[in-house]
Structure 1
Amino acid sequence: MSTRIRRRALLAGGAGFATAGLGLTQLGAPAIAQGAQQLAIATGTTGGVYYPLGGGMAAIFSRVIPGMSATVEVTGGSVANLQLLGAGRVGMILTQVDAAVDAVNGRDRFANRPVPARAILVMYTNRMQVVTVASTGITKMTDLRGRRVSTGAPGSATEVMAFRLIEAVGLDRDRDFRSRERLSPAESTNAIKDGKLDAYFFVSGVPASAITDLAATPGQQIRLIDHAEYVPAIVAKYGPVYFAEEIPAGTYPGQTTPNKQMSVANIIAVREDMPDALVTQLLAAIWDNLPELHRVHAEARNFKLENQKTAAAGIPWHRAAEAFWKARGATLG
């Protein structure tokens, strides 16, 4: 990762780069091609996929866009990222579509505080993974009653999605668990290793490094709990942002069966008022250097032209992104 990228922990409301609500410094049309400018990219926890992919993008931006110095921010995840974008503390974010839809419409965590987020690229599918080990005896979602679980880091879309899944299962998130923690995936893995946690929820691309760490631990047999049967009830209440998929057997060490689970798309988003020329530069930098991102993480191979669909984006396109994809032959739809 480039030495120009700085890892800084950010929660919603934390410090960041901001000028004119863009999370950028020294911007404006003349400054895009000349002069120093900084771009803060909000990603997620270090145990997921957003952080390394964001770092790869920051390295590309810093190298190929004149005057650009891009930094990657460690955050709680999608909800925190959207809050930071709304506050103008970062310029670009990686986010799940469900959280972005809530943010744009001012719902749930964003009640009365809509975020002017706009999609610029549909990335890959995020998979809900309900993680445990064989020694717990947990084999189905209802077995989580009375157990010690983690529903994800504060400010993460994992937490939002976990709550919706728990509700669909018929469990009460505040009363039906022996304890409910709000840990990052890396912290959750360590807690299971130490015998302090029975299961955790994590939404990410696959393979996720934190889950791989648990699966590769001697003496542990990983188990991913099926839950695709609950997707219709969740979609009926929260809209068609979720869909059923399978994580193939062998995705993680010792994973002997496919995992039937719930998925949601991921997007890159910026503020509606980001200058058109800068959006075009960012997209061209990503698209012209995809092989570099493929080496960062396998999920970047799912950055495909045919995936650039309005329905998949979930929220409105930034006008410059819409023009960019149409010029490259995307139908959008």
Structure 2
Amino acid sequence: MKLLKSIAFAAALIATPALAQTQLSIATGGTGGVYYPMGGGLAEIINKHVEGYNATAEVTGASVENMGLIATGDADLAIGLADTVQQAYSGTGRFDGQQLPMIRAIGSLYANMVQIVTLADSDVKSIEDIPGKRVSVGAPGSGTEVNTKTLLDANGISFDDFTVERLNFNETADALNNGDIDVGFWSVGAPTSSILNLATTNDIRMIPLTQAQIDAAVGQDSVMAPLALPAGVYNNVSEETPTIGVPNVLVVSSEMDEDAVYEITKAMYENIKELQAVHPAANETTVAFTMAATPVPLHPGAIRYFEEIGAEIPAKLRQ
């Protein structure tokens, strides 16, 4: 009798269907940047700590494309540069005439640094030397392309002044290695794998910005801020490199379920060490950074979590 009961119990367990999980797509960037590992780390946190959801990080063209994926519902969460996110929300810049008012933030993750790389024997010493050269400005639809254009336009340099290549991070590193381009732009957290790999096979030089060049860029886009790439981050880069940076924002649609966003926000901030173990850029992922750096309103689910922990939320993030 006990055997029959055990068999019946086991059969019932087998017959009981597993609880269905809601699939979430996280739009990131290329595999040679920081978005993809950060998105993968966030997916793991969701899978471990948010019941009923299964998340996957997706390779994309990064910031501009990611905002479109949120708008169409082809991604549930996305990472984007703050200036791109702001442009999408307000219908300006790259999004002129195609405003995406459904964009909402969960929080700001870390700051990208504009990293301008050439080989050590190059005659390009400043962005003033870029006209006439072959330059990768970032993948089409990426935040790197947006940041590069803002920086150069602010300093009187047009994309018409040089040969433009629109390559992702790994392609840019390969093109520098092969001599197919003279300069590559990255807007990414430091260090990033594609530059690290390039610097192991080549002597590289980081092109610094002058204070006047930084001031011009910040004057054109207030989301940008002066930053410095520390010495020693990459092989043979022995001096600090003055540059500019832009925060990265984790966004969702305003239509996403409030309870789901609350649980995701709570899981990310309360298990942030797991994300920091994936990439050191997550050391910047704090509630304070979110309140200071986020350019668009927070999702109500995120607001609920921040209120729960007693965070002071600026009025502009409650709209």
Scaled by the length of structure 1, what TM-score is found? 0.85
Is the CA contact 1:308–1:325 (under 8 Å) kept in the aligned structure 2? Answer: no
Q: For each residue in 1:173-206, what CA deviation from the matched residue of structure 2 results, as whole angstroms up to 9, or x when unmatched?
A: 12x21x2100011101111111111111110001
Superposed counterparts of 1:109-148, under 5 Å: 109-115=94-100, 116-148=102-134
Amino acid at match of 2:208: D
1:215 aligns with 2:196: no
Q: How many residues align?
A: 294
What is the CA–CA distance in structure 2 between the aligned matches of 1:145 and 1:111, rounded to whole Å? 27
Is the CA contact 2:150–2:220 (under 8 Å) kept in the aligned structure 1? Answer: no
Q: For each residue in 1:245-267, what CA deviation from the matched residue of structure 2 results, as whole angstroms up to 9, or x when unmatched?
A: 10110011111111100111111
Q: For each residue in 1:237-293, what CA deviation from the matched residue of structure 2 results, as whole angstroms up to 9, or x when unmatched?
A: 33x101111011001111111110011111111011111100011112212221211
Give identity over the alignment, percent.
36
Which segments of 5 or more consecutive residues in structure 1 lack a partner in the other structure? 1-33
User: 4+ residue runs of structure 1 moved beyond 3 angstroms?
Assistant: none
Superposed counterparts of 1:93-242, under 5 Å: 93-115=78-100, 116-174=102-160, 176-177=161-162, 179-217=163-201, 220-227=202-209, 229=211, 230-238=213-221, 240-242=222-224
Residue 108 of structure 1: CA displacement? 2.2
Is the CA contact 2:154–2:220 (under 8 Å) kept in the aligned structure 1? Answer: no
User: Hey, what does 1:312 align to over in structure 2?
Assistant: 293
User: Hey, what does 1:57 align to over in structure 2?
Assistant: 42
Is the CA contact 1:150–1:181 (under 8 Å) kept in the aligned structure 2? Answer: yes
Question: Partner of 1:282: helix, strand, or coil?
Answer: helix
What is the CA–CA distance in structure 2 between the aligned matches of 1:231 and 1:66, rounded to whole Å? 45
Amino acid at match of 2:205: R
User: Hey, what does 1:323 align to over in structure 2?
Assistant: 304
What is the CA–CA distance in structure 2 between the aligned matches of 1:187 and 1:112, rounded to whole Å? 31
Pick from 39, 64, 79: which aligns with 2:64? 79
Superposed counterparts of 1:12-23, under 5 Å: none
Is the CA contact 1:44–1:78 (under 8 Å) kept in the aligned structure 2? Answer: yes
Structure (1/2) with the larger helix percentage: 2
**The structure with more radius of gyration:** 2
What is the CA–CA distance in structure 2 between the aligned matches of 1:332 and 1:225, rounded to whole Å? 38
What is the CA–CA distance in structure 2 between the aligned matches of 1:318 and 1:228, rounded to whole Å? 38
1:277 aligns with 2:259: yes
Scaled by the length of structure 2, what TM-score is found? 0.89
Question: Partner of 2:159: helix, strand, or coil?
Answer: coil
Root mean square deviation, CA, Å: 1.3
Which segments of 5 or more consecutive residues in structure 2 lack a partner in the other structure? 1-18, 315-319
Amino acid at match of 1:273: E
